[in-house]
Amino acid sequence: MKATNLKFNLIDSYLGLLKSLSPDNRLELISKLSDSLKGSKKPSNKSLTDLYGAFKTKKSADEIIADLKKNRNFNRKTEQF
């Protein structure tokens, strides 16, 4: 199935669901969809560099791995039926 056919099938499926809504509910949905489109045109002030460096430590990667392995606790307790 081509991507365009999939899009149209998805749209038809949504329209089938929306036909059962009252006219007031449809208008409310249209309003919310319009508002969501208007809001998405604003450029985002977040930069990808803001996400970099969220985890800061002075330990090396090998030290972190060693700590994780040391603190593992395997406790296999099985419950009786």
Q: How do residues 3-57 score in pLDDT, each as one tens digit? A: 566 677 888 888 888 888 899 998 999 898 888 888 665 566 777 667 676 677 8
Q: Per the confidence metrics, is the pTM higher than 0.85?
A: no
**Residues 6 or more apart in contact with residue 78 via CB below 8 angstroms:** none
Q: Is the pLDDT of residue 1 over 60?
A: no
Q: How confident is the model at residue 62 (pLDDT cuts 50, 70, 90)?
A: very high
Residue 75 to residues 20, 40, 69: CA-CA distances in angstroms? 53, 49, 15
Q: Is the pLDDT of residue 66 over 90?
A: yes
Residue 17 lies in a domain: yes
Residue 50 lies in a domain: no
Residue 56 lies in a domain: no
Residue 31 lies in a domain: yes
The 10 Å Cβ neighbour count of residue 26 is 13
Residue 22 lies in a domain: yes
Residue 10 lies in a domain: yes
Residue 47 lies in a domain: no
| ∠ Cα 29 35 36 (to 5°) | 90
Q: Containing domain of residue 15, as a range?
A: 1-40
Residue 51 lies in a domain: no
How many folded domains does the chain comprise? Answer: 1
